[in-house]
Amino acid sequence: MISIIGFIVLVGGIGHVITGLVIFRPQLTAIVSDGVINAVLPHFDRRAALWFILFGVMVAMTGHLLIHAAAVGDLASVRIAGWYLLGVSSVGTLTQTRSPSSLLVVLSLVLLGLSYFG
């Protein structure tokens, strides 16, 4: 079950990155056009694009780590990931009620239950 949740989180993170590449294409093009170096900080829309994509990378990494933790039986790592996912997804759900973050709240609670109670 942990590896399935890890796979769902991994795919969700990849989807977040792809979504960012599509919806923030103008901002990403502007970053590249300005030479990348110091092309983000002065522009709020570019910062939003960058952080949206980087968040997706971190979510994908969390999913990958969950898959690995499940494979080696590392419930402590599952517990850590579960708490972080619960915190981030709770904030996301409260601040953006139509966000898919609510799915992560449920998945993180399942992860925590599995990590504490098997």
Give pLDDT tens digits for 21-63: 999 999 999 999 999 999 999 999 999 999 999 999 999 999 9
Q: 46-55: long-range contacts at Cβ-Cβ below 8 A with a sequence spacing of 24 or more?
A: 48/24, 49/20, 49/24, 52/16, 52/19, 52/20, 52/24, 53/16, 53/17, 53/20, 53/21, 53/24, 55/16
Q: Which of the two residues, 11 and 100, has the higher pLDDT score?
A: 11
- Quote the pLDDT of residue 32: 98
What residues make up the domain containing 103? 2-117
Q: Return the number of other C-beta atoms located less than 10 Å from residue 86's C-beta.
A: 18
The CA distance from 118 to 79, in Å, is 11
Handedness of CA 80, 101, 114, 13 (dihedral sign): negative
Domain count, the chain: 1
Q: What is the pTM of this model?
A: 0.91
For 53-79, the pLDDT digits (tens) are 999 999 999 999 999 999 999 999 999
Say whether pLDDT at 114 is over 90. yes
Q: Which of 69, 109, 73 is nearest to 89 (CA)?
A: 109
Q: Which of the two residues, 118 and 45, has the higher pLDDT score?
A: 45
